[in-house]
Amino acid sequence: MVTLSGAHTIGQAQCFTFRGRIYNNASDIDAGFARTRQRGCPSLSTTANNQKLAALDLVTPNSFDNNYFKNLIQKKGLLQSDQVLFSGGSTDSIVSEYSKNPTTFKSDFAAAMIKMGDIAPLTGSAGIIRSICSAAN
């Protein structure tokens, strides 16, 4: 999962998905990074503000690279689900390795994508389509 999360080196997130993270003064986010992100995501929750987009990676937003992992080490993960990958747990060593070795990250990412592509989901009457993505029917 750490490897596939590296896809967040490109892309954007809507403000409502990270507002709590940048305004809660937590110890797992760089204060300067939070202030920078607050400028693009006002604290007031309105439809317009919630839909504002922010690049997941400020440094190289359009490059598939290992900067995502470097950001996590610096406590600059935009999404909480990303930052938790480098929070003193079992995945710290993987994040550290990928931050230092872009070739390893890209190779592992390619292998993980191939593996994921081989998953044979149930289809037709054998499968179930969730009515609500976050809950089982």
Task: Find the radius of gyration of the CA atoms of the chain.
Answer: 17
Instruction: Give pLDDT, residue 67.
Output: 97
127 belongs to a structural domain? no
105 belongs to a structural domain? yes
**Number of structural domains found in the chain:** 1
As a whole number of angstroms, the distance between CA 94 and CA 18 comes to: 24
Instruction: Give pLDDT, residue 114.
Output: 96
Binding residues for heme b: 8
* 132 bridge partner residues: 135
135 belongs to a structural domain? no
123 belongs to a structural domain? no
73 belongs to a structural domain? yes
Binding residues for Ca(2+): 9, 57, 60, 65
Domain limits for position 75: 2-117
Binding residues: 8-9, 57, 60, 65
Residues of the chain with pLDDT under 70: none
72 belongs to a structural domain? yes
Instruction: Give pLDDT, residue 120.
Output: 87
Which residues are CB-neighbours of 92 under 8 A, at least 6 positions away? Answer: 85, 86
CATH of the domain at 41: 1.10.420.10
125 belongs to a structural domain? no
Instruction: Give pLDDT, residue 43.
Output: 92
130 belongs to a structural domain? no
